[in-house]
Chains A and B, each alone.
Chain A
Amino acid sequence: MRRFLDRYWYAYAMVLPVVVVIAVLVLYPLAQGVYFTFTNINEGNIANPVLERPATFDFVGFKNYLNVLSGGDSFGAFWGTLVRTLIWTFSCVFFHYTIGLGLAMLLNRQVRGRTLYRVLLILPWAVPAFISAFAWKYMFNAQYGIINQLLRSAGLPDPVWLGQSNWALVSVIIVNTWLGVPFMMVALLGGLQSIPGDLYEAAEVDGATPWQRFRHVTLPGLRSVSSTVVLLGIIWTFNMFPVIYLIAGPNPNARILVTYAFERFFSGASRDYAIASTYGVLILSVLLVFATIYRRALRKQGEVW
């Protein structure tokens, strides 16, 4: 042990600042959040230095978890919201991936004005999310929005997009798809460009049709990029707060786990920090479990490349 320290103290001294920073910035808030889930902390009993009021919240054990996991409406209908979150997440990532891949493949060949297309397609990404969110909110307006005007002029039914129905969820999925495609497209374009061209030629000589070349060369060649961006996409979308909140507000039909946690934290009669934290911890657990299963599944399919 002595010798170990004698030998490596320098290395440890070097990583110490980073360890401290991470501990302060990540571990401490995380630990505090977890601690709150075992209390009944809210706006009324948290320590308030302005009013010179000491903290008066109590330790309540697993009560918050029981309340949330029992799925009661007054605690945000956890299971229903979880299902909606999953629908939201997987449909968004599905459309991101398929549309992004399609566009990447179009851009990966010699077309005139390729750079221009690329810039145009990256644009949604470059615009601040709240601006595009408001633009979309306006377009979804039931009476004046361009979407319904078009639908009406085509003689199609014009739903109340952002009303109290599942159309609200459909709307936010459409907007988030529009926002998320550029990232996937750029990432997959990079992946496509890293596939050696002679593999396509070999497949062509081997007698593969365009679809078979896509299936047996493109998709396997994109595996490592895809597995990373899909995992990232799922985590981001699962926790995607601004799009839903800016477009649908607290509409329960478009509610996902994070937006409900936010609602509990910042609105309502008494700001219920304990329930919000409980939601936070549950979201983290769901994502951890998911990421573990995902990595297992990938590994089972064998190393890529």
Chain B
Amino acid sequence: MAEVSYVKASRVFSGNPPVRAVDELSLEVADGEFLVLVGPSGSGKSTALRMLAGLEDIDEGAIHIGGKDVTNVPPKGRDIAMVFQSYALYPHMTVAENMGFALKLRGVAKTEIKAKVEEAAKMLDLTKYLERKPKALSGGQRQRVAMGRAIVREPSVFLMDEPLSNLDAKLRVETRANIAALQQRLGTTTIYVTHDQVEAMTMGHRVAVLKDGLLQQCDTPRALYDRPANAFVAGFIGSPAMNLKTVPITSEGAKLDGVIVPLSRDAIAAAGGLDEVTFGIRPEALGIVPSGEEGMEMTVELVEELGADALVHGAVKIGDASQRFVVRVDGRTPPTLGQHVKVAVRDHSEIHLFHPETGERLEA
């Protein structure tokens, strides 16, 4: 068990121009913490993880594991275990041999390996399959073997690169819970990479959002949701995504389709001097109001019924352009296609303002 820290660590792939796949990443992961790295495809998540594993050079900066600088230490010396997206199980070894391989290389006694493998197999419900080859297992079972191979080693850090992406939706939800519970039980520091923000929100103690190799924000899921540091994080975290629109701002508030959405004094002060701001509001903070009340005029273009709720997509005129908005409404009484409805902000404390150019969060 150990804490992990990235100290301005960069990975630059040579090329023309060179790719800064991970750019001056600074991140502290506490002992026993479950940290999720999330970001869109190509944002450098895997690269960041592989740098920690020692599979990728660290071109600038440093990485520490357990207080020790491991920047130039090969994977063998880092006491980490990794679960690969493809699982990378050794095809010619049985499940038991796969799980015990690292111990065997370390010269641990056969009986001890056997005991440890059996213990891990019991934890993961793999006892029946110990003598099988990976080829003869289902995707979910292979995933568990990959987990087992990591657990058996009792490393100080677990690294996982999208370990659930090859599973079907139902199994993914189930396995997600199992991994989180297992990590809780073992108390091993874990860095988990995913591009799925739902996975990130449900599993991580803290979530680090990456984009183009740059760390955008690292905080608890709640804080990411409530106070995204910039427009990118705001749009990335939460499903469906937050409505983010560039709108004119006046001294009273933000101007949307003739309606002035009042803003707090602090917010207006923070936006001081700007004519426009990026206005963000989550679909659940919007609502449909009776036609007599004040609100934005919206033409319904699509209704997604999710059971308990429905998501209403529609066009709202802002200035000259027509902009798309998503509103979450009660699933039992959704509007119909083509209907004109009035949409209003239900919860004014859930309005986020961002700088229209830099995307930085305005207001304190």
Q: How far is the CA of A220 from the CA of B135 in the complex (A)?
A: 15
A220-B88 contact in complex given A204-B75, A206-B105, A207-B76, C-beta closer than 8 Å:
no
Binds B, one of A12-20, A172-180, A195-203, A234-242: A195-203
A208 proximal to B (CB < 8 A): yes
Q: Is the CB of A199 within 8 A of B90?
A: yes
The listed residue with most B CB atoms (<10 A of its CB), out of A199, A206, A217, A221, is: A206
Question: Which one, A199, A207, A223, A304, contacts B105 given CB within 8 A?
Answer: A207
Range of interface residues on A (Cβ < 8 Å): 20 to 34
Cβ contacts B81-94/A at 8 Å (1 or 0 each) = 11010101111100
A220-B84 contact in complex given A206-B102, A208-B105, C-beta closer than 8 Å:
no
Q: Is the CB of B102 within 8 A of A204?
A: no
Chain B residues in the interface with A (C-beta under 8 A):
53-55, 74-76, 80-82, 84, 86, 88-92, 101-102, 105-106, 135, 149, 153
Question: Which one, B80, B86, B90, contacts A205 given CB within 8 A?
Answer: B80
Taking CB as reference atom, which chain A residue is nearest B146?
Answer: A202
Q: How far is the CA of A140 from the CA of B146 in the complex (A)?
A: 57
Q: Is the CB of B86 within 8 A of A196?
A: yes
A221 proximity list for chain B (CB < 8 A): 91-92
Q: Is the CB of A198 within 8 A of B84?
A: yes
Q: How far is the CB of A7 from chain B (nearest CB, A)?
A: 36
B92 proximity list for chain A (CB < 8 A): 220-221, 223, 304-305
A56 proximity list for chain B (CB < 8 A): none
Q: How far is the CB of A145 from chain B (nearest CB, A)?
A: 47
B55 proximity list for chain A (CB < 8 A): 201, 204-205
Q: Is the CB of B135 within 8 A of A198?
A: no
Q: How far is the CB of B120 from chain A (nearest CB, A)?
A: 15
Q: How far is the CA of A216 from the CA of B90 in the complex (A)?
A: 9
Q: Is the CB of A217 within 8 A of B105?
A: no
A196 proximity list for chain B (CB < 8 A): 86, 88
Q: How far is the CA of A280 from the CA of B109 in the complex (A)?
A: 54
Q: Is the CB of A206 within 8 A of B101?
A: yes
Known: A223-B92, A305-B135; 9 extra A-B contacts, CB below 8 A, are A198-B84, A201-B55, A202-B82, A206-B153, A207-B75, A208-B76, A208-B105, A212-B105, A216-B90
